[in-house]
Structures are given as C-alpha cells and as structure tokens.
A and B are shown apart, each in its own frame.
Chain A
Amino acid sequence: MEALDRIVVRVLALLLVALSVLIAMTLWGDVLLVNWILTLQNRLFDGVILILILLLFSLYLIFMSVKPKTDERVVSHHTTLGMVNVSVATLTGLIMKAVQQFEGVKYVNVMINEVEPLKISIELQLLPDHNIPELSQSIQAKVTEYLRSTVGISAESINVLIKSIVNDHKQKLG
C-alpha cells in the first residue's frame, strides 16, 4: 500500500470512528450531530465543501479497489552499460507460456516465491492419462532450461503442485 493510500485509509477510519460516536450519542438523546447537520442548511458553502471532500474520498477508495496490484519485485543483472531488471510479471508470463505447451496441462498458475535466489511454484490442473511424475520432471527441466536461455537466470527451486485432474469435455463431445 502506498503512502497516500495509507493516509486516506487512516483519515477515513478516524472519520468513521467520529461518526459512530456521534450516532451513539444521538441514540442516547444527545442532539449534537442532528443540530450540526441542520446548521448546514444555513451554511450552504460549507455543506458543498463537505460533500465534495466526501465524494473525493469515495472516488479515491473506488480507484484503490480497481487499481491492479503490481508485483514490483525484479530479477536484476548488472552489465557494463547499466542494469537489466526483469519484472516478476514477465517471468510469470514466460513460465506460464512454457508450461502451457505441454500436452496434458489444462490449467497453470505460476507463483514466484522469492527472486533472489529464484524460487518458483507451479500449480497445475492436468488431463487424465498422463504420467504425473514424468510430466512434472519434464516441466521442471523445461522451465529451468527456458529461463536460462530466455532470461539468462537459473532457478534454485521449481516446485510443482498438481491441484487436480480434470476431464476434457471437448474430447468427450467428439
């Protein structure tokens, strides 16, 4: 979470606490909140400013919720002309594509657990009638070789988790 996001969330949390206290006081007979809201009728400018502030806060919260989360970790190489940083998203995409090319793989999810040293977890859903240990070993070998040739890095560990075996409905229809 960025610094501005944290500030917005804290301010909103404090506002909500204050509002809860005022509502609780209203329930027990205090009319402070009601009176304050009624006075806004005579102070139109203040009311408009308050509405704008609340609208801005809500728009910011909506923006925060739809903003895609980015993994800012990178794998770095140093060269004579500068640094080459490869983002985790790039690595994930490359590994996914390499694994998807295996016959028998229905669904792939790739997670980069650590970047230095590089530790990868691959979750798979497989089609039936494939030898799982053989397929897993082939995938590990392929990913290792692929990362070496494409990104120029070697992975310390590539863990494969077979989550499930699924039927290929398309084949059944044929």
Chain B
Amino acid sequence: MAEDNRMNLGELKIANEVVGIIAGLAATEVEGVAGMSGGIAGGIAEMLGRKNLSKGVKVEVNEHETLVDLFVIVNYGVSIPEVAKNIQENVKKAIEIMTGLDVTEVNIHVLGVHFPQPQIETEEISPVQVK
C-alpha cells in the first residue's frame, strides 16, 4: 500500500518501502544501534549482494496513521530503554519531516546484542597467563 496525497497539481504517492528506508536509516544512525535484523530472507538477500535499506522495518500506512515496527540489534553496554527512546524519536521525526505522514507508533523489537570482537594483541603474547 502506498500513501496517496491529492494535491492541486496531481497526486503524491509514497511507497511503504520508501517509508521503510527512511525509518531504517534513521534508526541505524542512533548511537547504540549495531544494525537491523532482517531475518533469514534479508540475510540471504544481502549475501547475494542486494543492499536492503529497509531491512528489519515493517511499515503500515493507514488513512490517518502510520505504524512502524523496527527489528534492531543493539551494541553491548548501552541502556536499551534509552536507545529505544532515541530510535523512536529519531524515526518519528525523520518520517514526519520527509513525508508529512503522521507517525502514531514506533515499536522497537530488540532481537539481539552485538558484542565487540576481542582485540588480538600483535605484541608479544605469553602463551599462558599465570595468576
């Protein structure tokens, strides 16, 4: 379904995928978000080289309201409620400014945590650490 705004000069239609891309980009720029979770299908599409900017985003545009569901992976060590609040605010703002739609709900689904990879020391490493 696409958002259909009638104007004097014609119609403006915004595809759900466009709203999804705006939401996805707005979510990933929030500090503490490691990425979006697009499930198995999204992972296969990415492996095949198809960059999916609306990965992990579900958009429902009704006549008077827009609902967004975001499936995210957060970085280890962040406060999830704080990051979720920042995502909700950033996504709502981005969609409303860029499309004029009225965003009523931004639901966040935290599906996982990204742990930083342990850094391998290149300097002299003792094989066994004795306490």
- Tally the A-B contacts, defined by beta carbons under 8 Å: 74
Q: Are B110 and A90 in contact (CB under 8 A)?
A: yes
Size category of the A interface is 20 to 34
A82 vs B128: C-alpha distance in the bound complex, in angstroms?
A: 50
A81 vs B84: C-alpha distance in the bound complex, in angstroms?
A: 10
Q: Are B84 and A90 in contact (CB under 8 A)?
A: no
Contacts of A151 in B (CB 8 A): 80-81
A82 vs B81: C-alpha distance in the bound complex, in angstroms?
A: 12
Contacts of A84 in B (CB 8 A): 80-81, 84, 88, 107-108, 110
| Contact partner, B128, options A85, A86, A89, A170, Cβ 8 Å | A170
Q: Are A171 and B110 in contact (CB under 8 A)?
A: no
**Residue in B112, B113, B115, B130 whose Cβ sees the most chain A Cβ within 10 Å:** B113
Q: A81-B106, A82-B106, A171-B130 are in contact. Are A152 and B113 (CB under 8 A)?
A: no
| Contact partner, A79, options B88, B110, B113, Cβ 8 Å | B88
Q: A81-B105, A89-B112, A171-B128 are in contact. Are A97 and B76 (CB under 8 A)?
A: yes
Size category of the B interface is 20 to 34
Q: Are A90 and B105 in contact (CB under 8 A)?
A: no
Q: Are A90 and B113 in contact (CB under 8 A)?
A: yes
The binding surface of chain B is classed by DSSP as mixed
Q: Are B89 and A90 in contact (CB under 8 A)?
A: no
Q: Are A87 and B110 in contact (CB under 8 A)?
A: yes
A7 vs B89: C-alpha distance in the bound complex, in angstroms?
A: 43
Please tell me if A174 contacts chain B, counting CB pairs below 8 Å: yes
Please tell me if B109 contacts chain A, counting CB pairs below 8 Å: yes
| 6 cross-chain CB contacts under 8 A | A77-B84, A82-B107, A90-B110, A171-B128, A173-B128, A174-B129
Name A residues whose Cβ lies closer than 8 Å to a Cβ of B. 74, 77, 79, 81-87, 89-90, 93-94, 97, 149-152, 170-171, 173-174
Given contacts A82-B107, A90-B74, A152-B80, 11 further A-B contacts (CB under 8 A): A81-B85, A81-B92, A82-B105, A82-B106, A83-B107, A83-B108, A84-B108, A97-B76, A97-B115, A152-B79, A170-B128
